[in-house]
Amino acid sequence: MDKLLAPSLGEDDPIYCGLALRKDLPFLAEMFGRLMGPMKTEILVYLEDGNWVSVYYRTVASGPDGDTPIKIESLLMFRFEQGLIAELISKIDSLALFEQLGQMPPDTLLGCFSGQRLTWK
């Protein structure tokens, strides 16, 4: 991954919806691989404007047990400097992912909009 990232993107610069840092990228890649199992990605929309690129994509996987289908859509934006990624903005539908993995109840977002509260065990 470091071969793709510009030196100006510091180790402590936020990525992944601002929840993780550049130095966390290897861990995030491993975590998503373990949670989702083997993945396939389809680019739905690709836009380029100067040194910015935006990609809207769908990822499907069979789940960690090979029997729990997962489908999420995400958005990535990159800014390039000399062919390397200098900025990375990532919006992944984590709530949908965790619902499909059974870590959140189905329709969690609808429940939140209704004013319901989640009770953690």
pLDDT tens by residue, 57-107? 999 999 878 888 899 999 999 999 999 988 888 888 888 988 998 888 888
Percent of the chain residues past pLDDT 90, beyond the cut: 31
- Residue for token digits 């910015």? 52
Q: Does domain 2-113 have CATH number 3.10.450.50?
A: yes
pTM greater than 0.85 (yes/no): no
Query: What does the domain layout of the chain look like in residue ranges?
Result: 2-113
**In b/e form, how buried is each residue of 95-111, taking b as 16+ CB within 10 angstroms?**
ebbebbeeebeeebeee
Tokens representing residue 110 in the block: 């609808």
d(CA 70, CA 35): 10
**Nearest CA among 40, 41, 6 for reference residue 22:** 6
Per DSSP, the residues of 61-97 read E--TTS-S-EEEEEEEEEEEETTEEEEEEEEE-HHHH
